[in-house]
Structure 1
Amino acid sequence: MGAIIALAPIVFGLLALSALFSAAETSLTGASRARMHQLDREGDRAAKRVNRLISDQETMIGAVLLGNNLINILASALTTTVLTAAFPGALGVAASTAIMTVLVLVFAEVLPKTLAILRSDDVARFLSGPTLLVVRLFGPVIYTIQFIVRRTLRLFGVKLDMAVDVLAAHEEIRGAVEYHHSEGLVEERDRRMLGGVLDLSDMDVAQVMVHRMSIAMIDADLPPRELVAAVLDSDHTRMPLYRDDPENIIGVLHAKDLLHAIAEADGAIDSLDLAKITREPWFIPETTNLKDQLNAFLKRQTHFALVVDEYGALQGLVTLEDILEEIVGEIEDEHDTSLPGVRKQADGGVSVDGSVAIRDLNRAMDWDLPDDQAVTVAGLVIHEAQTIPKIGQTFIFHRHRFQVVKRVRNQITALRISPPLETSQEA
């Protein structure tokens, strides 16, 4: 009996250490990386240690598990030794197994891990110092274990880089945003904005550009007075100038430059030398992703670029506003309509021009039409139908009914789209 009494403080001390290891493992894997990085930038030394530990999460977890297992095995071995002496035979082993299972499960696993889940950031910062010492102590052993594990997995065709990152940062952020949105902590508008930022590097300018057929251009050979009238009639401040052929863009005229020139000429419009105020056009490939183009706009301090294909043929134009709208939604000013080319119907559907971008329609109607195979609504219908439909033809796909209303030659110019259909209606 004396041996059992003497053993109790040792076992409970070992269980307390095991509880710390369990809490460290759970809190460090569940701590908010964003908050730790912010605290680190503010000079929090504990947060800095947490970031060091989770930067090599595999080694950290391996060291914590190794220490935890050593302590649990030691506590179980001591208990078994004492109890088998007090209760000879299988009874001592059974008693030791039952007692240690309950103690380890309750006090060294469930209780500390529950606390660590509830207060992950605080517990991680509190235990970062001791955990860092354990990682340094067991580091060589863990690297040896990792080497053995990777060699073993390689026998089964699984190859892992020593520096493999098990989390994709963008997907982790997107998942967090979606989770908090489902919990009601992130509003729908904020969810769309955050998703738009993450999508920039995955989208090309061809997906948001104004198609060449919709570009408002001005013939550079027009008399100055007619050219000024054309600029005044336009809703845009930057106008591409072409000569002979609309594909032959020779410059871009900014309305502000034009006003300065008129003022300097004392209103003598007919004497304007437009060549002096015309800006050189900026051509970019249609494969440029939106993140790179946004950075290019900011670097060049210009908001307007013409998009060309691999052969140099004009495809459209993109502005800084087009890219920002992918993040914040439609930006409207006094010259804009809510969404040009889209007319809502009483039944919840829309009458839409074929040139309307799918992404714009989705934002306006809160729909989910795919835009990975086509940019415009007309392009989506042609892609799904695998033909150029005739006027009056109706198609059902992606839970909507599409009816072709107008067609000019081979171009679908107007459609009627139903609101989302029930599954039975779609069938």
Structure 2
Amino acid sequence: MWLADALMRLAGSGAGHESISEAQLRSLVAASRMIDGEERRIIDEVLAAGARHVREVMVPRTDVVFLDTALPLAAADSLTRTARYSRFPVIDGSHDDVVGFVHLRDLLIRPEPDGTGTVGELAREIKRLPAGKRILSALSEMRREGHHLAVVVDEYGGTAGIVTLEDLIEELIGEITDEYDVAPDPAPADGAMPAEVDGRLNLADFAELTGIELPAGPYETVAGFLMARLGRLPGVGDETHLDSWRLVVVAVEGRRVARVALMAPAAGGRIALD
């Protein structure tokens, strides 16, 4: 309870408390005799995750299933039954004009499922979050207001993606999986370098998984790094070098880099940066 209160104060959302800085919280943790080594490690991870922004954990708009307000309910039924999601943003003609969302049960469990209505008739209010909002602050705000889904808005007012309460919580406590989640990439044995990674992997997770820190830039993911380095849309077989590693595009979905292979160069040398 003490930690939860301190974290909410760090996010500036503790009722009746003034916010505290991360340095102050770390000092409190260091001075406490009630927190053991493992608990300190967890707190460090929470603080590190809390420093990230919503744009780093959101589902990008290219991976979101949108439903148009004019879509007949019968058509929406068949579309959503095959999806792995339970909540769907509702748009009015454009992905940048999100007017609400519908839950799967709204579509499948209706008093009179005659199929003559439209998705827009069932749309609920949806929350909006700026892409640059901190994770801890966003989590606190969504919990306080009772929202499970939010549209992430970029600096131009367009839709960058969506984020769920589960996405934010997972950044603090680790992955929450259920029977509908896609199985994550297996962790390499004994800390070995993975052969491939998902192109959507954000920079912090990539560094944690591989030990390779990609240079900061106008991107949040491995795919974004490759696009910036190449200066164009990557294709299968495109590659770039980073220190002694080659990052090679091995799969593309549409215009997005789906999988990236990590390859060490042949013995006998170090490859310079491009």
Question: What TM-score range do you get, normalising by the shorter chain?
Answer: 0.7 to 0.9
Q: Does 1:236 align with 2:85?
A: yes
| Residue identity (%) | 26
Report the CA distance shift for 1:325/1:173 in structure 2 as closer, same or farther (over 3 A): farther
**1:369 alignment counterpart:** 213
CA distance in 1, matches of 2:49, 2:196: 29
**1:51 alignment counterpart:** none
Range with bigger deviation, 239-248 or 330-339: 239-248
User: Does structure 2 retain, via aligned residues, the 8 Å contact 1:208–1:322?
Assistant: yes
User: Does structure 2 retain, via aligned residues, the 8 Å contact 1:361–1:367?
Assistant: yes
**2:161 alignment counterpart:** 316
Amino acid at match of 2:225: L
Deviation string, structure 1 residues 201-250 (Cα, Å, up to 9, x no partner): 42211111111111122233222111012122111111012232233222
Q: State the TM-score, normalized to the length of structure 1.
A: 0.49
User: Does structure 2 retain, via aligned residues, the 8 Å contact 1:170–1:198?
Assistant: no
**1:349 alignment counterpart:** 194
- How many angstroms does 1:338 deviate by? 2.6
**1:145 alignment counterpart:** none
CA RMSD of aligned residues (A): 3.8
Amino acid at match of 1:195: D
User: Does structure 1 retain, via aligned residues, the 8 Å contact 2:230–2:240?
Assistant: no
CA distance in 1, matches of 2:78, 2:148: 23
Report the CA distance shift for 1:247/1:297 in structure 2 as closer, same or farther (over 3 A): same
**1:296 alignment counterpart:** 141
- How many angstroms does 1:406 deviate by? 4.5
Amino acid at match of 1:387: G
Deviation string, structure 1 residues 233-284 (Cα, Å, up to 9, x no partner): 1111110122322332222001233344x2x11xx33144644421122222
Amino acid at match of 2:260: L
Report the CA distance shift for 1:290/1:391 in structure 2 as closer, same or farther (over 3 A): same
Report the CA distance shift for 1:338/1:368 in structure 2 as closer, same or farther (over 3 A): farther
User: Does structure 1 retain, via aligned residues, the 8 Å contact 2:248–2:262?
Assistant: yes
Q: State the TM-score, normalized to the length of structure 2.
A: 0.72
Equivalent of 1:169 in 24, 38, 46: 24
Q: Which has the higher strand share?
A: 2
Count of paired positions: 246
User: Does structure 2 retain, via aligned residues, the 8 Å contact 1:209–1:322?
Assistant: yes
Of structures 1 and 2, the larger Rg is shown by: 1
CA distance in 2, matches of 1:237, 1:399: 43
Amino acid at match of 2:24: A
Equivalent of 2:38 in 169, 175, 186: 186
Q: Does 1:221 align with 2:67?
A: no
CA distance in 2, matches of 1:276, 1:318: 23
Q: Which has the higher helix share?
A: 1
User: Does structure 2 retain, via aligned residues, the 8 Å contact 1:348–1:418?
Assistant: no
Equivalent of 2:102 in 231, 244, 253: 253
CA distance in 1, matches of 2:152, 2:93: 20
Report the CA distance shift for 1:366/1:217 in structure 2 as closer, same or farther (over 3 A): same
Any gaps of 5 or more consecutive residues in structure 1?
1-33, 35-166
Q: Which has the higher contact order (CA 8 A, sep 6+)?
A: 2
**2:12 alignment counterpart:** none
Report the CA distance shift for 1:168/1:361 in structure 2 as closer, same or farther (over 3 A): closer
- How many angstroms does 1:294 deviate by? 0.8
User: Does structure 2 retain, via aligned residues, the 8 Å contact 1:401–1:417?
Assistant: yes
CA distance in 2, matches of 1:413, 1:325: 22
For residues 88-167 of structure 1, the aligned pairs below 5 Å read: none
For residues 43-122 of structure 1, the aligned pairs below 5 Å read: none
**2:9 alignment counterpart:** none
Report the CA distance shift for 1:295/1:242 in structure 2 as closer, same or farther (over 3 A): same
